[in-house]
Amino acid sequence: MKAYAIDHYGALLKRHDLPEPVGGPGEVVVDIMASSVNPLDEKLRKGAFKAILHYKMPLVLGHDLAGIVVAVGEGVRDWRVGDHVFACVGGDRIGTFAERIAVATGDLAPMPVGLDPAAAASFPLVALAAWQVLVERAKVQAGQRVLIHAGSGGVGTVAIQLARHLGAHVATTVGTSNIALARDLGADEVIDYQNQAFEELLSGYDMVLDTLGGEVTAKSLNVLRPGGQLISIAGPPDPAFARMVGAGWIVRQLIRLGSASIRRKARARDIDYSFLFMHPDGSQLARIGKLIEAGILRPVIDQGFSFDETPAALERSASGRARGKVVIRRMM
């Protein structure tokens, strides 16, 4: 089986010939028609989470897929050979930059009807991240005010649409060239970060989705009301995350120290800061699929690459210039 993998952290993505995957109990084997690239893939390539997530080398990257079930493992009843599915895989199961992969059935959802496989593959990780922030953790309600950073990125383009569907008043930050896109996706207020300071223009918000980290995380406290929520997928991981992944004592202390400043500043303003690391969930993805079929969520695709161009696709995503998602088409 052909796949694109790294041989050690920091190495370039290269083509490998690897053994065919075998579906174990509760798994199916999926022939991958399309995948997509996320910033997380580049972080993993560089070894950003090597102290927490332990992978064997060579490591096949990739979290998103759309494809066809070609084999089912023992005990699988809900899926059959020939089913069209899409999924986000995580933990030690990543590896969608490949021809085939074994996937836990709990990660799978039916591919949205009428959607091109590449468009379907653009959704899973970013849509699940948006869902888990806005629906699962923040429990956004109609009439609330939500700020979504980087509204032209993969998570941002989905989060704007989902927050609007939930009835929220949505603000977002984008570059000058993406103002029209953000408005078209449904943002009520669009801040041009190249010429405006969001922390000076917005106030009284109920929730911020931080997709950028760095100084943006701290500045986001200024726009929130007391009792508001700052949920980051890019800022410092918090102790709750360390406990969730079962980090060792030393790593837990490092994570505690690394997030101490932002947590202290948030407490001083009566704001709840938390870090979210997206987890695969087929049932949530199935609900997202229904929203896609209803036209409530639509894909935003930056550029498409062939399977043989997978390293270039990763490079494009890592450039930070992608508008929406970078997709990889294996079957044309």
Question: Given this model, what pLDDT does residue 37 score?
Answer: 98
Per-residue pLDDT tens digits for 30-82: 999 999 999 999 999 999 878 777 899 999 999 999 999 999 999 999 999 99
Measure the CA–CA gap between 13 and 273, rounded to whole angstroms. 35
φ/ψ of residue 143, rounded to 5: 90, -15
Looking at the fold, whether 130 and 108 belong to one and the same domain comes out as no
CB-based burial label for 78 (10 Å; 0-12, 13-18, 19+): exposed
The predicted model gives 108-117 an average pLDDT of 97
Is position 236 within any domain? yes
User: In 208-293, which residue ranges form alpha helices assigned H by DSSP?
Assistant: 215-219, 239-244, 249-268, 282-293
Q: State percent of the chain over pLDDT 90.
A: 90
Looking at the domain assignment, is residue 21 inside a domain? yes
Give the contacts of 102 (CB within 8 A, at least 6 positions apart).
21, 22, 23, 24, 27, 28, 29, 30, 73, 93
Q: What is the pLDDT of residue 103?
A: 97
> For the chain, what is the total number of helices (H) and then of strands (E)?
11, 16
| pLDDT tens-digit readout, 267-294 | 999 999 999 999 999 999 999 999 999 9
Question: Are 32 and 50 in a shared domain?
Answer: yes
Largest CA distance in the chain: 57
Residues 139 and 95 in one domain: no
Same domain? For 53 and 132 the reply is: no
pLDDT over 80 (residue 199): yes
CA torsion, points 291, 104, 312, 118, in degrees to nearest 10? -30
Contact predicate 296/165, CB 8 Å: yes
pLDDT value at position 244? 83
Identify whether 289 is part of a domain.
no
| Mean pLDDT value across residues 1-27 | 97
Do 118 and 131 reside in the same domain of the chain? no
Mark whether 170 and 100 lie in a shared domain: no
Residue 171: what pLDDT?
Answer: 98
The answer to whether position 267 is within a domain reads yes
Q: Can you read off the two tokens belonging to residue 131? A: 């869902």
Per DSSP, the three-state class of 194 is: coil
Asked, for residue 281, whether it belongs to a domain, the answer is: no
What is the average pLDDT score of the chain? 95
Same domain (yes/no): 234, 117: no
Contact by Cβ (8 Å): 305, 313: yes
Look at residue 252 in the predicted model and tell me its pLDDT.
Answer: 86
User: Over the stretch 217-244, which tens digit does the pLDDT of each residue have?
Assistant: 999 999 999 999 999 999 999 988 888 8
What domain range includes position 155? 125-275
Torsion of CA 65, 295, 131, 261, to 10 degrees: 100
pTM across the whole model: 0.96
In this structure, the answer to whether residues 113 and 211 fall within a common structural domain is no
Q: Is residue 284 part of a domain?
A: no
pLDDT score of 246: 81
pLDDT at position 121 is: 98
Q: What is the pLDDT of residues 142-179, one digit of tens each?
A: 999 999 999 999 999 999 999 999 999 999 999 999 99
Residue 54: predicted pLDDT: 80
Q: How confident is the model at residue 26 (pLDDT cuts 50, 70, 90)?
A: very high
User: Would 280 be classed as within a structural domain?
Assistant: no
Number of compact structural domains in the chain: 2
Instruction: Decide if 225 is inside a domain.
Output: yes
The residues that bridge with 27 in the sheet, in sequence order, are 104
Nearest Cα to 102, choosing from 87, 117, 122, 84?
Answer: 87
CA dihedral 150, 185, 233, 175 (to 10 degrees): 0
Structure tokens at 206: 């109920």
CATH number at residue 261: 3.40.50.720
Q: From residue 20, give the alpha-carbon distance in Å to each of 71, 109, 162.
A: 12, 23, 37
What CATH number does the domain containing 100 carry?
Answer: 3.90.180.10
Query: If DSSP codes are grouped into helix, strand and coil, which group holds residue 235?
Result: coil
What is the rounded distance in angstroms from the CA atom of residue 192 to the CA atom of residue 326?
23
pLDDT of 251 over the 90 cut: no
**Domain check: are 268 and 150 in the same one?**
yes
